[in-house]
Amino acid sequence: MSNSLTELQQKISALRDELDQHNYAYYVLDDPKVPDAEYDRLFQELKAIEADHPELITPDSPTQRVGAIPLSAFETVQHQVPMLSLDNAFSDEDLRDFDKRVKDRLKSNVDIEYACEPKLDGLAISLIYRNGVLERGATRGDGQNGEDITQNVRTIGTVPLKLRGNGYPEVLEVRGEIYMPKDGFEKLNQQARLDGSKVFVNPRNAAAGSLRMLDSRITAKRPLELCAYSVGLVEGGDMATTHTEVLQQLNGWGFKINKHMATAKSIEECLSYHQKLGELRDGLAYDIDGIVFKVNDLELQRELGFVSRAPRWAIAYKFPAQEQVTKLVDVEFQVGRTGAVTPVARLEPVFVGGVTVSNATLHNRDEIERLGVRVGDSVVIRRAGDVIPQVVSVVLERRPEDAREIVFPDDCPVCGSPVETVAGEAVARCTGGLTCQAQRKEAIKHYASRKAMDIEGLGDKLVEQLVDEQLIDSVVDLYSLDLEAVSNLERMGQKSAQNLLDGIENSKQTTLPRFIYALGIREVGEATARTLAQSLGSLEAIAAADTEQLQTINDVGPVVAHFIHEWFCRAEHQQLVEALKEAGVSWENLAVKEVAELPLAGQTYVVTGTLERFSRDEAKAFLQELGAKVAGSVSKKTQCVVTGPGAGSKLTKAQELGVEVIDEQAFVDLLRGFGINV
């Protein structure tokens, strides 16, 4: 072999080793060591050499993740060690019963140590490594036989093409879950809508569909990840003696494992872990549908053995299902504060996401057309955390013959005014304005809400009563309510009525940002109201500003500027403000601060994850009060990222770019340091 060829091979080997190291740091450790540009430079250098010398390409090269020519079909492969299912627990008692069965079989009363892992909602996969090199990837299939999807798994960054380090068995089967993070799923569906192609129902379906592409070049473009959770076949080497130690071995050999995994010394600690992860669930960067508990000692696992389809030493304690199938009984149309006409699905009640659901949003006309949904259809309902339940798909196989199309109204269902759809908008709106009773009710509810005028005791149901009984017709009427009339309302007495009137009286003294927000100007949220108040100082200055001046304010673009200017130009709105002033509503004008004078002026912040003290919108408002720009994504221009539990790709990106990252307590300290009392 010539010296030049030997040197070339050494160069290729060095490049591959360096790229493998960077892949491991990025995908497994979430701790990138170099910027994307440097990684791309190394990758392109290796790719160019291999293009000139294709005979030197090996299956474990980092360049082989791009996908190969399409297959006509997947081959069936047999699992030498069956991939069994897990038994499920649905209550604390189920889990305690499992623990009792384990102890009874082991003839012991001593507490068992369990490995605890989030159960990712993806697709189970088997990866065979021979002498440290990936040989085969296969789906679980029926547990005995799966599909050979080697070409597809090679494209996934968290699947090692070659194991790191040493000490691994000659033959090692690694098992794990391939899943799609939430951020990647949303971006994939967003692009699909733009392309007019298939929109996936949930991240699990998206991951499964991506893995089963016959063209692995498509799979290569999908945001898939692997999390290892166990081993199967092992030959020519020894593994650790506990499950958690095995996972640490896999991590050292290049596999991503779940950061939230833990050990529990007893079944009661398992229950505490289940509750803790249940609270974190909605803030995680990926979907989980339960917790898997496994006897940690592998010798005890062998002693416990298996039943026909599942191990006796493991169980999955499922969370309440986030998706269920039910029947769409009817569709009603609700009118919101800004006149938006929203279709609401009336459902046969179904238990989903921990609550009984009988209504779900259908968003707008475009969404109804995209779903192809009809009244009478069986539909899949999804509810995650506090998110409003939504219809995500139709079970077409169950469509009855008498299913009828959903017809969007031409006239407002409340006031009869024409319903219009503005070009470029998906939302249809009632044109009746405040002559529409529904819009008046919603405007009053918004005015009284906690973040607006914060009128204690004035809830949504009471607003409905006051309007229906014709005691009020607008927010101004709140300040002239009669004690006797209010006390005569259903479920109201003299004391409750007096408390309400006291709450209304106390609301007269407010702040300029709260008052601006309370007015309900379209697209003006709490943060924008605060920015307007700080930038212009008075309501008079805001009302007098034209769209060009408004657009010079941070966080105000042309659309928002148009809505603000239009609102203050309308005579009825000017009369409303004057009437509120005459009723005694007042606030202090603010000293106008130039953005450049604010302590965080010129700095860009990103907020990600779930904060405990306040919402992301509140965090954004505080940052903007200090002059910062709050962005939705991390870039080289980002100064700092504020993180809470469940921070995912944004945190990874920040670490990759070397951007400062602070937790919630550090953020609170920052705000207090600038005089904001939180």
Angle, CA of 321, 323 and 326, to the nearest 5° = 115
CB-based burial of residue 99 (10 Å sphere; 0-12 exposed, 13-18 middle, 19+ buried)?
buried
Q: Does the annotation count 119 as an active-site position?
A: yes
Where are any strands of DSSP class E within 336-407? 340-352, 355-361, 374-375, 378-382, 390-394, 404-405
Report yes or no: 170 and 235 within 8 Å, Cβ to Cβ. yes
CA 294 to chain centre: 28
Q: Which of 380, 418, 4 shows the shortest CA–CA distance to 202? A: 380
Q: Which of 622, 623, 619, 585 shows the shortest CA–CA distance to 601? A: 623
Residue 655 tokens, joined: 């670490």
Cβ-based neighbours of 582, under 8 Å, separated by 6 or more: none
Alpha helices (H) along 449-525: 460-468, 483-487, 494-506, 512-518
Kindly name the residue from 103, 119, 276, 451 that is annotated as catalytic. 119
Report yes or no: 473 and 371 within 8 Å, Cβ to Cβ. no
CA 459 to chain centre: 29
Q: How far apart are CA 183 and CA 178, in angstroms?
A: 15
Angle between helices 558-569 and 571-582 (to 10 degrees): 70
Q: How far apart are CA 592 and CA 116, in angstroms?
A: 55
Q: How far apart are CA 130 and CA 170, in angstroms?
A: 6
Residue 359 amino acid letter: N
Q: How far apart are CA 46 and CA 408, in angstroms?
A: 57
Report yes or no: 89 and 95 within 8 Å, Cβ to Cβ. yes
Q: How far apart are CA 379 and CA 343, in angstroms?
A: 15
Give the residues across from 608 on adjacent strands: 643
Radius of gyration for the alpha carbons in the chain, expressed in angstroms and rounded: 30
E strand or H helix at 381, and its extent? strand 378-382
Q: Which of 128, 175, 154, 125 shows the shortest CA–CA distance to 63? A: 154
Where are any strands of DSSP class E within 498-623? 604-608
Catalytically annotated residues: 119
